[in-house]
Amino acid sequence: MAGNPPIKFAGADFELENEAQHPATFSLFLGRVFLNDLFGIGFLRSADVLAYAVLYTLLLRLGAGPVMSALLALIFTEFVLVLSGILTKKALVGSRWGSNHKTPFWSWRHFMYFFAQDCFFAWCRIPLRVLAGTVLSNTILRRMGCRIGKRTILASPMQAFDWNAVNFGDDCYISGLLQFHTLENMTLKVKETRIRNGCTVNSGVTLMGGAVMENATTLLPLCMVLKEMHLPTGTYWGSPAEPYAGNQDLSCCDIALDAGLKSKCSPEILKGEKRPCITCHDSR
């Protein structure tokens, strides 16, 4: 059981789980330690410092002044790191894998996929944080393999780390947790999520893999869209997401009290006799 209101999930397939739990080879285990522990934790975090030092030294030797070399090295460092992240993703993951695929936990595909994500988090974090909330971040994400339409804005571009599973239409606003991969029965599963034109994913929303949102669909704050849910055009809230009963009049919002919000409205609202207005409450 999970969710609020609770729903019942299908039972686990123990035969598939036993098949996926085959022992790892020693070479695969060493590869995992090297990629995700030694190289992933140690080198990736210091790559920007090393790149800056090398570029600064080269610019000085080419005749640029100290100040100009420092400024240019900062810009070129971010460019080199982003380019390195793009090339790493293309080399280890490819342009197709991760849209509707799965692989055992103990597999090179699994570890390379997460290593490419580690590179993305370490090398692209500064540009994407600077460009967050603008359409400029989409340029980097598209090079990583994301399919993002025109005029679509991601409040947190770093959330789009399951690149080949991202399929967003035009004129969308995305601000939530994007979880397009899962680990089930010792198997990594990644499935494409499609958000059609004109959709809104508000803050606090959790959106899982395989979901489909039709045109002009809105997810109110704190709701959760489970795997492979199909949401026709409308407004949704809750965990799991369900049609919002007040679609015709969004001035009265059922999520305010349930989300633990303090209302500025009348005493009747605070007593629970009325529901608060979505435009007149603030966080505790």
Domain assignment of residue 175, given as a range: 26-248
Per cent of the chain over pLDDT 90 is 61
Round to whole Å and give the CA distance between 32 and 58: 35
Q: How confident is the model at residue 280 (pLDDT cuts 50, 70, 90)?
A: very low
135 and 274 within one domain: no
Residues 154 and 254 placed together within one structural domain of the fold: no
Structural contact between residues 250 and 235, judged by C-beta atoms closer than 8 angstroms: yes
Question: pLDDT tens, 170-220?
Answer: 999 999 899 999 998 889 999 999 999 999 999 999 999 999 999 999 999
Say yes or no: 269 and 183 in one domain. no
156 in the same domain as 38: yes
| Model pLDDT, residue 15 | 58
Q: What are the helix (H) ranges across the chain?
A: 14-20, 26-32, 47-61, 66-92, 108-123, 125-130, 137-144, 255-258, 267-270
- Ranked by mean pLDDT, the top range of 26-30, 33-37, 83-87, 181-185 is 83-87
CATH value at residue 123: 2.160.10
Which is higher by pLDDT, 34 or 167? 167
Does residue 112 lie in a domain region? yes
pLDDT at 20 over 90: no
Model pLDDT, residue 16: 54
Residue bearing the bigger pLDDT, 6 or 218: 218
Total domains present in the chain: 2
Task: Tell me what percent of the chain is helix, strand and coil, each rounded to the nearest 5.
Answer: 40, 25, 35
Does residue 10 form part of some domain? Answer: no
pLDDT attached to residue 58: 94
Does 247 score more than 50 pLDDT?
no
The larger pLDDT score, comparing residue 221 to residue 31, is at 221
Q: Is residue 2 part of a domain?
A: no
Residues 92 and 174 in one domain: yes
pLDDT-wise least confident of 86-95, 160-169, 218-227, 236-245: 236-245
Strand bridging mode 281-283 / 261-263: antiparallel
Verify that 161 and 145 share a domain, yes or no. Answer: yes
Asked if the model's pLDDT at residue 13 lies above 50, the reply is yes
31 falls within a domain: yes
Of the listed ranges 44-53, 72-81, 118-127, 268-277, the one predicted with least confidence: 268-277
